[in-house]
Amino acid sequence: MLHRGSRIVSGSAPSWTDFFLREHVVFISVVIPAHNEEKYLARALESLRAQRYPASEYEIIVVDNCSTDATAEIARRYGAIVVPEDGKGVARARQTGFEAARGEIIASTDGDVDAPPDWLQNMADVFQQNPQVGGMTGPVHLYDGNGLVRWWFRYVNNNFIRFTMLLGFGGFSGNNFAVRREPFLRVGGFRTSLLGGEDTDLALRLRMVTKLVYDQRTLMRASARRAREGYLQIMVRAAATHVRLWWLDRQPDGFTDIR
């Protein structure tokens, strides 16, 4: 389904590439699960509103997951669609957002990101140039934190995800992935009973029905706040999640709520 008649993003001058895109863009829904994200959400939404992608060809959905702060108010201020989800949990929140999405392509990220301006365009290129691809993920760089943590995520964490994707059992980076609607619905969406690892679980099930890729160009920047638990522990936890979901079909360990 191609959505036509797009307008030029406010503040940009029309060019021949803009007119080309009007006839060849795909509508994308961006889903952000958010629980008490008032400290970070404005930065994330500013970056998503500044995308080099036709403004009428994407929507931003913020799922207010039991927030007790100004998360919903901030989301509305930036023009996002706010959808409430009273059952706490990131899997439930993502599922609610995906169900509300209108896009043929549904992307997901987190409330503490800073999206590069070409994030959506690179993502759209992957799907439009590869019709057989039903899901994709890409690298995540940190925009804060100490040098060692930033190095670890850039070179170790990203290469771990890329390597496991190549081996055929890799998962998505939860703050940087997208799927086509049809295969997502075919596998039943997210398993909302999961306490964590819902992104990995979805990727493992999608792999049974469609092709998944890791695209080096589709970069996302995120906060290092989740690294407070330690980068080695994060890597161990990611490996354990793969084992528990893929080989043991068991619930992964719960994730710490870090604000």
Would you say 52 and 32 are in contact if contact means Cβ atoms under 8 Å apart?
no
Residue 237 has pLDDT above 80, yes or no: no
Between these two residues, 119 and 253, which has the higher pLDDT value?
119
Confidence band for 227, pLDDT divided at 50, 70 and 90: low
pLDDT of residue 149: 87
The structural domains of the chain, ordered by start, are 23-247 (3.90.550.10)
2-28 pLDDT tens trace:
332 222 233 334 444 444 444 468 999
pTM (whole model) above 0.75:
yes
What per-residue confidence (pLDDT) applies to 157?
A: 87
Question: Which amino acid, residue 212?
Answer: L
Mean pLDDT of the chain: 84
Q: What is the DSSP letter of 240?
A: H
Q: How far is CA 162 from CA 128, 154, 239, in A?
A: 21, 12, 13
Helix (H, G, I), strand (E, B) or coil at 258: coil
pLDDT per position as a tens digit, 150-206: 998 899 989 999 998 888 888 999 999 999 999 999 999 999 999 888 999 999 999
- For the cut 80, the answer to whether the pLDDT of residue 64 exceeds it is yes
- HSE toward the beta carbon, residue 23, CA cutoff 13 A: 4
SS3 sequence of 128-143:
HHCCCEEEEECCEEEC
Helix, strand, coil tally for the chain in percent (to 5): 40, 15, 40
Q: Decide: 48 and 74 in contact? Cβ < 8 Å.
A: no
Predicted confidence (pLDDT) at residue 58 exceeds the cutoff of 50: yes
Amino acid at 201: D
Angstrom distances, CA of residue 5 to CA of 12, 25, 237, 238: 17, 10, 46, 43
- The mean per-residue pLDDT over the stretch 87-91 comes to 95
Q: How far is CA 238 from CA 52, 70, 99, in A?
A: 32, 31, 27
| 126 neighbors 204 (Cβ within 8 angstroms) | no
pLDDT of 34 strictly over 90: yes
Provide the H-helix boundaries in the chain: 16-22, 41-49, 71-77, 90-100, 119-129, 147-151, 158-167, 181-186, 198-206, 231-242
Is the confidence at residue 253, as pLDDT, over 90? no
